[in-house]
Structure 1
C-alpha cells in the first residue's frame, strides 16, 4: 500500500512539473506601469498558443512581437531588445524569405480599447531548445503603437513600443514586475 501511495505522489509531482514547462502567464504593462491585462502562453501542437486579454489600448490594429530579453523598462521598453530571431530571418509574416520566430499577427483593439485574441507562434516552444521562449532567462512580449505591415525591416513600421510583459524562465521572476494598482484598492476594502 505504501509503495502505491509513493507512486501516486511521484506521478502528481511529475504532472505539476510538466505543467510548469508548458505554460506561462504574462502580465502586460503600459508605459506608465499600469497593468493592462494578461497573455496566457501554452505549448501547443506545432508552436506556442497565445491568449490575450487586454484593455486600455487605442482602438485599431497593433503589432505584437516576442522580443529577445526578459526586460520591460518603461517608458519605451527598448530593454526588451530586438525581435526573437534565432534563425536570422527577415522580419514579417508576409516576407517571402521567412519571418522572425517572434513575429505574430496584428491584434485589434475594439472601440473600447479591449483585445480578446488567440494567436500562435509556429515552431516556438516553452521547452528547452533553440526556439524556446524561455532560453537564457526568458523573453518578453511587446505591443506596438501601430499595425505591423508584415514585411518592412526591421520591425514592420509598427511604431513605438506601448506595452510589455516578461516571459520569464522562472515564473517567480515575473513577480518582480510592477504591481497591479487595483490590488491595493481591494486590500483597503477588506
Structure 2
C-alpha cells in the first residue's frame, strides 16, 4: 500500500472526525440561529423589537428595545405560542402560558426573563445571555411548531408567585420569527 492509497482511505474518516469535533465544539447543530420579534402594544402599534441570537457556545443572547411603556419595572416572560393578537380580552391571551418545557417553578423556569426597567421617558433597552432555552431543535426550543412570544406585563414580576409572578395584565407582545 503506497502513501496515496493510505491517504485516500483515511481521508473520509479524518473528515468525519473533524466534522464531529467541530459540531461538539459549538454544542449546537444550529449555532448562529437567530430570531426577531416586533413588539406591539394593546392597540397593535409597534413599540419596539426583540432579537435572539444563538452563539457558538449554545447560549442565546437576547436584546429588547422598547418605547412608550409606563416608567418602572415590568415583568417580562416568554410564552408558549408565537401569536400576539392585540385588542383581544384578555390582552395577548393568544400567546398562551409561560414557556416552561421542563416544568420548573416560577422564578427559575425558562420563560422567566426578569423585570424590564423602563426609564421616566417610557423607554427600555436590555441585553442578556442565557442557556435556559435554545433556537435549535429540541425540547427547549423557542422555534417549535407554534413558535413563542415575548410578553411584557404591566407590573413587576415578584419572582415567586405562580404562574406569572403577580405581574399583572399583558401590555405588550412580540411573536418570534426565525431569521
TM bucket (normalised to shorter chain) is 0.7 to 0.9
Please tell me whether residue 41 in structure 1 is matched to residue 57 in structure 2: no
**Residue of structure 1 equivalent to 2:14:** none
* 2:79 is aligned with 1:67: yes
Q: 1:122 aligns with which of 100, 106, 131?
A: 131
Distance 2:104 2:64 in 1: 26
Query: Which is further off, 53-62 or 69-78?
Result: 69-78
Could you tell me the TM-score, scaled by structure 2's length?
0.77
Give aligned pairs, total.
Answer: 146
Q: State the Cα RMSD in Å.
A: 1.6
| Residue of structure 2 in register with 1:31 after alignment | 42
> What secondary structure is seen at the aligned counterpart in 2 of 1:79?
helix
SS of aligned partner of 2:81: coil
Measure the CA separation in 1 of the matches of 2:63 and 2:152.
Answer: 14
3-state DSSP of counterpart to 1:58: coil
5+ unaligned residues in a row in structure 1: which ranges?
1-17, 93-98, 172-190
Contact 1:46 1:123 (8 Å CA) reproduced: no
Q: Residues of 1 paired with 2:169 and 2:54: CA distance?
A: 29
TM-score under structure 1 normalisation?
0.72
Distance 2:153 2:141 in 1: 22
In the TM superposition, structure 1's runs of 4+ consecutive aligned residues that sit over 2 Å from their partners are: 44-47, 119-123
Q: For the pair shown, which has the larger CA radius of gyration, 1 or 2?
A: 2
Structure 1 residue 122, shift from structure 2 partner:
2.5
For residues 130 and 83 of structure 2, the distance between their equivalents in structure 1, rounded to whole angstroms, comes to: 20
Q: Note the alpha carbon deviations across 1:148-175, whole angstroms, 9 max, x for none.
A: 0011111100000000000135x5xxxx
What is the aligned partner in structure 2 of residue 91 from structure 1? 106
Structure 1 position 25, deviation (Å):
1.6
Contact kept, 8 Å, 2:109 with 2:132, in 1: the verdict is no
| Higher helix proportion (structure 1 or 2) | 1
Distance in 2, matches of 1:59 and 1:159, equals: 15
For structure 2, the residue ranges without an aligned partner over 5 or more in a row are 1-29
